[in-house]
Amino acid sequence: MSPLRRRALETPASVLFPFPDRPFLWGVAVSHYQVEGDDACDWTAWEAAGRTRGGACGPAVGSWARYEEDAALAAALGANAFRFSVSWSRVEPRRGRFDGEALARYARLVDRLAALGLEPVVTLHHYTHPPWFHGETPWTSPASVDAFARFAREAVRALGPAVRCFTALNEPFVLLLGGFLGGEIPPGLSDARAARLALDNLLAAHVAAAAEIRGACPGAAVGVAHNMMLFAPDRGRHPLDRALASRARRVYNGGLLEAFATGRWDLWIPPFARLKGRRDGLPSSLDFVGVNYYSRLHLRAGLGVPGLARFGYRDRTGRGLTDNGWEVVPEGLAEVLREASAAVGKPLLVTENGLADGSDARRASFLADHVAALSAVHAEGVPVAGYLHWSLLDNYEWLDGWGPKFGLVEVDRTTMARRPRPSAEVFRRLGERLLAERGSKG
């Protein structure tokens, strides 16, 4: 081996994100459980136990057999990026036993995406866990970190260097709040001590997965997909409502960002949880912040209410609420992007943004207004490397099941036929313009 080549291999490839050859990613996002179908995991058990409002996921929208078709649909919409997640339960159905076929299936999807000119954006953990996980290596135990690192190693090795953009964890803070404090999603705990341990281990798992990614895919960019919201006082001038809104914003938006920026966190989550910890490797394990942004919550102080506040959505912008009752606040996208950039100082990627709109009456203006907010914030110098719309397809919306329709493409769940909604054309045109402005390949 020539000394030059040896040196090239020894020097860790530095991460260039946004990618010089594709400075702007314009695309769509899906997650494994919500589209693939028939994936036995902790969430399936949750459905069977009657813990969801919207019924079972079942065959979902059959993407496990139709990913190639879905990728082609995204390409036809002018996307140059496609975010999907790897199902841990498919890949490691029994602890330590990896399913080569499942890994090969994801590798085939990556090949197909590359052939269609779509940048794969791969999430390693999007809410669900293999059936053995909570019993054998729960997030409250450090064994979870090793388990996740091993899964990450197998997954990134199988996908290979063709993938250069990963989010290790999707919305770890939502998993923490819903799974360890609110008890609404698996593992269904409401336990401050468990939450503290789980946050420690989730963040350690991010660091460990980042090392696996960088080992297998030198130069790949590693991010976290973080759910961010706007918080407003329900009664505009009420001091308690105002204090609550600013506290909610600091904790919900800012807590995780601060942890990634400094390697330290100290969060008080009303009424009783104090989550404090430190992980020195966290800041250097992150190359970009993925922002999932949807809506604004209005908070109203109330004694005797859990968390000391009621919160809800209101139509204060006059744009009407989405099918699942969320307020539409496009300028909020600009606000949370500014907030993420100021907190962490790394490039950003909008990893999710979208709405439930079965009649497709609002999606076109939603898209145009959010893209305008994105362009405005970019013009101010906030480094946003792309926008991924949630979602390509109508899909299974967790506790709400099959009610909300988030797809640019409508899916008939009896035939699994896909049909682009009219707003898909608006998405295509917006993308064409943005990609041309940003000098990015379509």
Q: Verify binding: residue 326, ligand GCO, rule CB under 6 A.
A: no
By CB under 6 A, what part of segment 334-363 binds ligand GCO?
A: 352
Site size for ligand GCO (CB under 6 A) = 10
Q: Verify binding: residue 423, ligand GCO, rule CB under 6 A.
A: no
CB nearer ligand GCO, residue 137 or residue 253: 253
Gap between the Cα atoms of 261 and 119, Å rounded: 27
Selection from 366, 361, 336 nearest residue 350 by Cα: 336
Min separation Cβ 190 and ligand GCO, Å: 19
Min separation Cβ 243 and ligand GCO, Å: 27
Gap between the Cα atoms of 97 and 277, Å rounded: 32
Cis, peptide link before residue 404, omega less than 30° from 0? no
How many Cα atoms occupy the beta-carbon half-sphere of 18 within 13 Å?
22
CB nearer ligand GCO, residue 123 or residue 137: 123
Specify the DSSP class assigned to residue 393. B
Gap between the Cα atoms of 372 and 252, Å rounded: 25
x/- letters, 195..234, toward ligand GCO (CB under 6 A): --------------------------------x-------
Q: Verify binding: residue 119, ligand GCO, rule CB under 6 A.
A: no
CB nearer ligand GCO, residue 84 or residue 133: 84
Gap between the Cα atoms of 30 and 395, Å rounded: 8
x/- letters, 283..322, toward ligand GCO (CB under 6 A): ---------x------------------------------
Element (H, E) at 264: strand 264-269
Q: Verify binding: residue 390, ligand GCO, rule CB under 6 A.
A: yes
Min separation Cβ 128 and ligand GCO, Å: 10
Contact present, 297 and 307 (Cβ < 8 Å): no
Q: Any residues with CB less than 8 A from the CB of 411 and at least 6 apart, and which?
A: 61, 393, 394, 395, 417, 418, 419
By CB under 6 A, what part of segment 160-189 binds ligand GCO?
A: 170-171
- Which residues bind to ligand GCO, rule: CB under 6 A? 31, 34, 170-171, 227, 292, 352, 390, 397, 406
